[in-house]
A and B are shown apart, each in its own frame.
Chain A
Amino acid sequence: MLKKIECFLNPSRLDKVKDELVKIGIDGMSVSEVKGFGRQRGYLEGEKIINKAVKFLPKIKVEIVVDEEIVDKIIDFIKELCAAKTIGAGKIFVLPVEDAVRIRTAEVGKSAIY
């Protein structure tokens, strides 16, 4: 089964995540610049909260479609590379992917992404 890993990360970690994931055999990813806030309401660790206002912080959204078997490995990798245990490190979501098609070759499923 294919799964999509969609993560929202601190922009400073992007290059490292890309390089390391390529090393373990990821053949593609999509990246977008996004703005967002989480439970910290857009404040950095130690920053003073003014008038309870919610702010947006710049984040990077990374999308990767992989085989279910390596999902846990990738999650562990990203946790490690993105300084897990620190506030604002981001979030990882795992979504089911029904199918994939490589348009050029008409390959489908797992074969379309590897």
Chain B
Amino acid sequence: MEKNFSSWDMALTQLDEVAKEINLDQNIYNILKKPKRTLIVSIPIRMDNGRIKVFTGFRVQHNINRGPAKGGIRYHPSVTLDEMKALAMLMTWKCAVTGIPYGGAKGGIICDPRKLSLGEIEKLTRRYISEIISIIGPEKDIPAPDVNTNPRIMAWIMDTYSMDKGYSVPGVVTGKPLSIGGSLGRNTATARGIMFTLMSTVKKLNLDFFQQRIVIQGFGNVGGNLARLLQKEGCKIIAVSDVEGGIYNPQGLDCFKVSKFLTETGSVIGFKDAEQITNQELLSLNCDVLIPAALENQITEENAGKVRTKVIVEAANGPTTPEADKILNEKGIFIVPDILANAGGVTVSYFEWVQGLQSYFWTEREVNLKLRDIMGKAFENVWRTSRERKVSMRMAAYILAVSRVAEATKIRGLYP
């Protein structure tokens, strides 16, 4: 619980630092430090055993001055209102730094989906959406998948909302299955966005893309797809890991074989042609690019000193603690922050929403090219800000994001 309280404090501290750096107008600051809308709902469900259980759900919209709110919905026992507020604020900054016309939101239900049947999860989802239906919609707030939620749940969200309206509304949610208006390229979007970010990084730092020894922590949707994409481009991945541990081969791993091995055995551990290592050892490997693509708070005050890489690209959300960030910066490691690096996911979500509104569909190539364009521009802007103001890429990303939201808030004025 303590960690969740601190996530909101951390979000506010981050905003404070940026506000000081850009001399943010105190009035605007007062608006930005509070979420616009916070909804807490009780969700009574008849469980499979016949008894009624009441769950608690949240939907927080932090800021909608640049466009409708956007953010995932997570099902997890540790969900708290403070965590939702922090993540909603983070979404505001992520959308702003990428330049897509969205504000930030987040939602969640306190529950352990592993202990629920599929039917119970469906009822939970439908009743939750019904409880928050007045504040969501294609022009208001568009949910998406997050921790423990998937395309199937997004389909139930779309269906519940559509039933209420009396007609199909594909634009109310993203991350839908293809058959009801999902976008091609959505699955690999985050990974592809990270690859584009890495390409921009090596170009700016005058490094040879193919010579980089890359280490990836996590081999799930993001890490696994990223490893395969990079290998296909001709890059050398020397270590990867999953929850159970990592594998290392300084000569390079065949990530397609690793994927196959993972599908067959359930873990990357035991893959031949590689040395077995722990996740901690993986983070301190001698390498050129380290990509944490697993959980938050992986690089901490304790292990940051041991990190031996030139570049970190944050594929996961918040993989580096603020204390670790200071240590890494002092060591001269170039860090591409999460809100910039992993924005590929929300960008293709945005494409899915646009396609839904137009009732049209794009080819996968079109999606990927547009993604590359947006990620490239976002990187270029953050890079330029970082050089001009002589600040880290993280600070530069926040400066850009907060300035854009502040500008939109200011120019729209105050109602009434």
Chain A partners chain B: yes
Question: Does chain A have a CB within 8 A of B363?
Answer: yes
B365 close to A68 (CB less than 8 A): yes
Contact B365 A85 (CB under 8 A): no
A85 touches B234 (CB 8 A): yes
Q: Decide: A71 near B365, CB < 8 A? Known: A84-B234, A85-B234.
A: yes
Size bin of chain B's contact surface:
under 10
**Chain A residues whose C-beta falls within 8 Å of the C-beta of B234 in the assembled complex:** 84-85
Partner of B210, one of A68, A71, A72, A85: A85
Q: In the complex, what residues of A have CB within 8 A of residue B232's CB? A: 76
Q: Does A31 contact B (CB under 8 A)?
A: no
Is A1 within 8 A of B363, CB to CB?
yes
Q: Looking at the assembled complex, report how far the CB atom of A81 sits from the nearest CB atom of chain B, in whole angstroms.
A: 14
* Chain B positions within 8 Å of A84 at CB level: 234
A71–B210 Cα distance when bound, in Å, is: 23
Minimum C-beta distance from B196 to chain A (A):
15
Contact with B along A65-79 (1 / 0, CB 8 A): 000110110001000
Across-interface contacts of B363 in A (CB, < 8 A): 1, 68-69
B365 partner residues in chain A, CB cutoff 8 A: 68-69, 71-72
A69: chain B residues at CB < 8 Å are 363, 365
Of residues 357 through 412 on chain B, the ones whose CB sits less than 8 Å from some CB of chain A are 363, 365
Residues of chain B within 8 A (CB-CB) of A1 are 363
Proximity bits, B335-367, A CB within 8 Å = 1, else 0? 000000000000000000000000000010100
Q: Give the nearest-CB partner of B363 in chain A.
A: A68
- Tell me the residues in window 1-28 of chain A with beta carbons closer than 8 Å to chain B beta carbons: 1
A68 to B363, CA, bound (A): 9
CB of A1 to closest CB in B, whole Å: 7
Q: Which residues of A line the B interface, CB within 8 A?
A: 1, 68-69, 71-72, 76, 84-85
A-B contact pairs, 7 of them (CB 8 A): A1-B363, A68-B365, A71-B365, A72-B365, A76-B232, A84-B234, A85-B234
A1-B363, A85-B210, A85-B234 given; name 8 further pairs at CB < 8 Å.
A68-B363, A68-B365, A69-B363, A69-B365, A71-B365, A72-B365, A76-B232, A84-B234
